Structure 1
Amino acid sequence: LALDRLPISLVAAIEFVGTIGVALVGLRSRRNVAALAIAVAGTLLLIDIKWSSDPVGLFWAFLNGALFVGYIVLGHRIAQTGIGITGLGTAMAIAFLVVLPVGFSEALPAFSAPQLLVAAIGVGICSSVIPYICDQLAMARLPRASFALMLSLLPLTATLIGVIVLRQVPSLTDCLGIALVVVGVAMHKPAQE
């Protein structure tokens, strides 16, 4: 809903604000504050923020960011209990049942086209199952602040996918942003929470 009304760079920036907050809460050293600042600077270079005066779009973007923070905090707690992947499977089954009545009619054409059905399953596995399992494995081993900082790699991976899949060659500014994100993440030293 936010993307229908706002540029993707602004939606990504608003989503990233929450992860910065989560990372800031867990910072325990000047080195990690510097690492976060460098990663944030690199991310801002990558996402090229352009503000909007669309209050409805901004509402959805900030709601998305707040829900993403909830995902990090709750996901980390669940991962620390040791039931991370099992809990994730249960949560995905519940989400499927909640969304099914809304999305079933939209998905109906895919059932009559095997190619669409295979593509839908592939997208579901690649965009939800694999990343969320990886998140749970990482959350079980990393402090919450470290995991939140690692999320600054998302614009970097999007840029790299843009190069490989879409043949979108990054600008010099993009390359500088990528370098800053990598340096910031490499500088970060996880602390026990």
Structure 2
Amino acid sequence: MAIPVAALLLSQVSVNLGAAFAKHLFPLIGPEGVTALRTSMAAGLLLALWRPWRVKTGVVSLGPLLVYGAALGLMNVLIYQAFARIPIGIAVAIEVTGPLAVVLFNSRRLHDFVWLGLSCVGLWMLLPLRSSVALDPIGVACALGAAACWALYIVAGRRVAGSLGSGAVAWGMVIAALLTLPIGIVHAGTALWSPGVLWAGLGVALLSSALPYSLEMVALRQLPAVLVGLLLSAAPAVAAVAAWLVIGEVLTASQWLAIGCIVAASAGSAFTARSSALTG
């Protein structure tokens, strides 16, 4: 079990280091350009790695696949817009409330309302409603939008995974790239094709998409769902540490406490969801 656990932890480190490095490119090509490079290059890498056209699949419904890919693309657009305006750790903490909401929406047990309340406390502490926490409202709104897209991505992903299997992510990323690449070209112009920018974009695509998705595939096949949920719940804290190390983003004590509330809510919901499934 040590190898799949290490793979999942490494995927978390990889995706959040990728986010921190991506922020370095914002002054050159903007978040729109970085999103375009990440999705288009990640699509190429995932297609080359998984070769989904070689896998026998069931009947694929185009509608859910388009929704899945569009949710993935819009999620990337919105979270990079959030990264441009608010600290990465805070943006990720808000974003993970999307999958948390999916879990809580499908449960009716009393203890789930505890996790819901804890996540709401964390969100309230992060929202720009108090003078001591000067967060950009647009950045917060973008992170909330990314959370909604992540929830939609999960719901739609369940519908396409049965027929496409591991190829679902690759085909979904292709759709995301087709949606985001024109936006990136319009905003970044010729700077998008600079050799230095392209190499940096390839690094972001590797760290943020191709490598973590591949590592997660290894982990998901061997780990119980509760352990996966507990490990993934640490994403906001990992993101905040990565942003501090790479770009020097420093959070206040209250912001760390808010992130801790959301992490605890995510971990608790994953644990009790598994316990409910075993006893129900």
Instruction: Report the TM-score when normalising by structure 1.
Output: 0.62
Q: Are 2:116 and 1:33 aligned?
A: no
Q: Determine the C-alpha separation between the residues in 1 that align with 2:107 and 2:217.
A: 21
CA deviation string 1:113-143 (max 9, x = no partner): 2x32210111122223344456667788649
Q: How does 1:18-97 map to 2 (within 5 A)?
A: 18-45=98-125, 48-50=126-128, 64-79=146-161, 81=162, 83-97=164-178
Aligned equivalent of 1:172: 253
Q: Determine the C-alpha separation between the residues in 2 that align with 1:68 and 1:186.
A: 17
Structure 2: 5+ residue runs without aligned partners? 1-76, 130-137
Q: 1:102 to 1:31 in 2, by over 3 A?
A: closer
Structure 1: 5+ residue runs without aligned partners? none
Q: Determine the C-alpha separation between the residues in 2 that align with 1:109 and 1:142.
A: 43
Q: Determine the C-alpha separation between the residues in 1 that align with 2:182 and 2:256.
A: 44
Q: How does 1:158-169 map to 2 (within 5 A)?
A: 158-169=239-250
Q: 1:19 to 1:86 in 2, by over 3 A?
A: closer
Q: Determine the C-alpha separation between the residues in 2 that align with 1:166 and 1:112.
A: 23
Instruction: Report the TM-score when normalising by structure 2.
Output: 0.47
How much has 1:86 moved relative to structure 2?
0.7
Q: 1:19 to 1:8 in 2, by over 3 A?
A: farther
Moved over 6 A (4+): 9-14, 56-62, 135-141
Structure with greater helix share of residues: 2
Which amino acid in the other structure matches residue 184 of structure 2?
G
CA contact (8 A) 2:96 2:147 kept: yes
Which amino acid in the other structure matches residue 27 of structure 1?
S
Q: Determine the C-alpha separation between the residues in 1 that align with 2:267 and 2:139.
A: 34
Which amino acid in the other structure matches residue 191 of structure 2?
P
Q: CA RMSD in A?
A: 4.4
Number of aligned residue pairs: give it.
Answer: 183
CA contact (8 A) 2:118 2:265 kept: yes
Q: Determine the C-alpha separation between the residues in 2 that align with 1:30 and 1:111.
A: 53
